[in-house]
Structure 1
Amino acid sequence: MKIGILVTTIFTVGSHALFGQILVDDTNYTVAQLVSDVLINSNCAETSNYTSFTGTQQNINGIGYFNANNTDFPFEEGIVLSTGRARDARGPNTDINDSGTESWPGDEDLMTITKTGNLFNATFIQFDFVPLTNNISFNFLFASEEYQENYQCIYSDVFAFILTDAQGVSTNLALVPGTDQPVRATTIRPGVAEQCAARNLDFFGQINGDMDAISFEGQTESLKAESRVTPGETYTIKLVISDNQDPQVDSAVFLEAGSFSVGFDLGEDRTVDNGNPACIDEPIPLDATIEGVQRYRWYKDGSEIAAWTDTPKVALTESGTYRVDLIFSASCVSSGGLQVDFIAPPEIGERPADLTGCDIDGDGSEIFDLSANGAIMMGAQDPAIYAVTYFKSDADARAYAHPIENPDTYETRQSETIYARLSSGNSCYEITAFVLNLQALDFEASLPTSHVLCLDNNDGLLGLPPVLDTGLSPSEYNFTWYANEISEDNRIAGATGPSLSVSSLGTYHVRLQNLEVGCQFFLTTEVLPSRQPDIFEVRSVSDTFANNNTVEITAEGEGTYLYAVDDSEFAASNRFENLGAEEHTAYITDSENCSVLSKKFTIVDFPRFFTPNGDGINDVWRIVGFPEIEQAEITIFDQYGTMLYQFNDRSGWDGTAHDRNMPANDYWFKITYVKDNVHKEFKSHFTLKR
């Protein structure tokens, strides 16, 4: 029936069906065939006792053979194990695979080894095998419908490759690389915004779309399961997958055909990149002795080493990529490889110096930069190969165990010995030691964290330059001053005293060396600018002729400014109220009192009375600050509204009208004027006193 559907699809959509989806066969292969002919396909291991389990009682087969069918699927062919129908794995990804049932149980072995409860819809194949060599591995890929919506945050559909040895000890080999976590939807995932973060994203392959080769929502990258084994021992392998928490939405694992490799493990690569290269005077012995091997063939960088033919034990002395073929028979050849870098033994260029630190704050601890000794030890040796690592004991240094983390900020509460190892990782090495001397120091300096350089708005110096003064005695300390950065190029020539006069902005450092105990440390201060303002203005913020005359002083520039009017104290507020009708002086200074600028201004107002008695004092009534207003015209009225006098200049009114003195009384006036290009009018009254 499935073949008929496939043929129909091919004829209706042509090349899209042929190249757009994998093919799955869940009827024509026995479990023994899937294991021996598809997965292993090697005569270097004996397999037997094939068993399996899937949803047979529910009329669901979760076990099948697949072929990539010229798609971009990572594996050309192999085995698919599903928590639903295996044939549903075929793409495209247009529907949700959901063929499991509650009556289809999970698997106890999978539950135990992955510590995952509440399992449904288990599918597995199981077989015994006897390896001829010492290493097995295979490639697999996990795919799941749990990668839709937020299911990857919750549902842990899980797969395991359970290897059980002759003693009954079981191990799960299907782990997230570099971890002890089983492969499942929640351990390898892209994450969902605001619900769960991505995990092990480097191993997640892709979210699938309508045109992809398989029908699952997402899939991992190709992963490798691997283990050492004992030649000739009988092992049981169980490849098992199951749904978690509910039987809904399916997951599957794809096992690459022929990837079940029964090879030979020569050991880990001995390279600089791995941190374990070999020394040129330390040959690496290799032993490929396995019972039943008929011949041995050795290769270096792809070329056969004739002198080692049929020799199971060899010693490596040169850098290169090595391989051995173990020939059991014409149909069983097992191989193993090893890459080796041989390096020259490191040499300590110069013995590291003891370091002395001063506890100047009295907290009983101090930070040391251990790496200061690294360059001394390294000399001209290649830092791409060699490095200095620091340890608290000689034993740890020799074992390359428990190195000191963050050696550039190592904190200690006591004097101690540090062991420095010069090596290329866990390889040949030289070890030396140096002492950290922690000295308590009764220290107090007067150097502020910042100083101010007084400048005008053209960056000209105002007054004397600031003096950076430590307040310390040259009989107790040596002083070395630096500008901006601590380096020999930035050392200030001749600056060796406890204070320094500076006329440039920037950061200044002084290295202090205590003459009694020898420790040295740094103090830092910053020289900041305080400039005169670029803009200095006085602006009235109250209406003309208001009862409360108010102004604001405006300053713009690189500085913090203080303000005053007349004889008031300088303050941070730039607003001044209740100013009388007269000329005033505004002042501005910076917070460091570098300089004082002033500007005169006049409050426009009218006197509330005048006394025209000829004594020369207050004899004329006029507008105070008249020049500050524009197009002013003033008219004087008596209490009956009769116009008595009119003027538009500073002359004012002398209290006469119609050639006679007007009597003491209240008089009214009207002034029209222009302010801020707006015509305005103001009326009020004043008193004439005789």
Structure 2
Amino acid sequence: MKYAKLILLYFSFCCFVDSAVAQSIIVDDSKNAQELVENILVNSTCATIANPVASGDNFSGSNKSYGYFNNQGGTFPFAEGVVLSTWSSQNSIGPFIVNRGGGDDRWLGDTDLEQALGLTETINATFLEFEFIPLTNFISFNYIFASNEYQSYFPCEFSDGFAFLIKEKGSLDPYQNIAVIPNTTTAVSSTSIHPFIPPVRTIVGLNPGCSAENESYFGGYNTNASPVNYSAQTVVLNAQSNVVAGRTYQIKLVIADDENEEFDSAVFIEAGSFAPKINLGSDQTVCFGGKTILDAGLTGNTNTYQWFKDGGTTPLGSNSTLEVNSAGQYSVLATLAAGCVATGTINIAYKNPIQKSLTQCGDSSGNATFDLTTLTTEIANGNTNAVEYFETVIDLQNQSPRITNTANYNSASKIIYAKATNNAGCVNVTEITLLVLSTLPAVQKLSFCDNDAIQDGIRVFDLFKDINPKILPVVVSPLTVEGYYLSANDATNRQNALPTNFTSTTNPQTLFIRVENGLDCRGIFEIQLEINIYTPAIPGIIKGTVVNQFSGESNSILIETMVAGDFEYSLDGITFQSNPLFTNISAGIYKAFVRDNSSCGLSFTTVYVLDYPRFFTPNGDGFNDVWLIKNLTIFPNATINIFNRFGKLLKQFNSSNQGWNGIFNGEALPSDDYWFTLKADDRKIIKGHFSLKR
């Protein structure tokens, strides 16, 4: 029995109850069934309510197991609504305190709930039942399931039962439960929605726990700051059902303990969320160029409709249906009776067409004759499909006019459409790009920066790498760039092709590109290359530098820019690289350059990299006679202390001093290792050691 397994566990829990002030819900259990249904749950003129009945705990005094709740502006997700529970509804008021709950074994279960969920021993049932006549074709409401079964290993084995049952009045069919996990028929419970449960040692041994179930719908465990007195709950869930406007339905919202009255549960239903709605169906993806009909699904000569798209305020139609031929979010606003306005929303997407292309040589007018039938077999995709061609999307949608001269279709460069329909009536649309290769299209001007050390408007091009990506129209397969030439005549005759690495001779430089499509068809493109020298960028490009120094071979400079861009970087203004990080930098003074290959702007700044000599040789030969950190004057307040291996201070000097010559108290010190500390202006202390060699 569940009770036997849990009694010891309960007593271990009860000793750790803490107290805290929380913004709890309040519960009013004085309202009757009619008030709960008409004024709180539905509260809409879009439906007629009849014969509301509520039943629950009749054995615990005056407190009821159902009532109205309000979150008092707190954190509970619903501002107000109806609560049904398996104990006194007043016990639902937070905060959460570990408890076993309670009830009465004379308080019976519910046979409709047992039949819907396949249970046999429910007890302590609470239900709210009413008849419902909608003016719309769809109902839904928001709810949260909360339970004290969310403790220890209980979700692996136990759950109270609850259901939202609906059926047409007078029908012999069983109730349908719509309180299910989204896109399934699985009833919502603590066993069907919970996180991973680790092993738990109980009075009868070790329970192995269980893996998570539908954890994305688990709302979390509660604490002594919770607004409700349940150990955990689900996220906000939505129950929904299609209905037929004007028909009478029986609705029964019911919850009960399973097997015994311990560890109670509740369901919280959001006020007003039970209002009828319009179901426009599931979101749709329509074939490219196709149309679809949206239908509010309602009848009635007095109904009025307004259709909108993407939140717009201009109505698209006023009928119960709307023909759609473009993607977007569509909504309908229907006035069904005085004060009854229902809405529905649907998203419409369109499939992208299949992409194909044809290329042909053109005449002097820029037109060419295309044989569209060369694509028919490929578009038909090996089936006995009918393939039809259209000049525009509108022609495709209207199925008229069609292109009839498919074997010799004369056209300039443009996009047309083909529709393939198989024997089953399925449609695929292909977007065909017709490209005409003209002999001499308009001159295209391309700008480049003078990327070598001498800024003279002359540069070296990797023709296929630098220019190919910039040619318009873009050269894609089956087109290829055959070569670059200095004259149209050379390009036409394929003679005197330029080398791949080409040094310009004038500025601007005119070149001719020969483009071929492998079908003995070619086009000659004239381009003009403008070469711009780098000039100071205004505003500047460089944001700053990050210098790692006093680190020997690990010294580095990172150049930071104001914004991202097509930049190159240099520390000498001659050799540039695409990486802003320079490593293995020797001590010295550098000019950091950044050039923008898009605008031909140039910025530079001075960078100091400091380091200390690892040894010096004070032997009077004029080389390395003094230990000195070069360029230290950039830190005017820097102080250096030199020590021997025993920590004795031998020399102290500042950045303006000429260093140390290896003499202490008038005596030349012997060859040995010596240590120093450097305190710079930023108060950072640098430590190191060096050798004196004689």
Question: TM-score, with normalisation over the residues of structure 1?
Answer: 0.47
TM-score (norm 2): 0.47
Greater gyration radius:
1
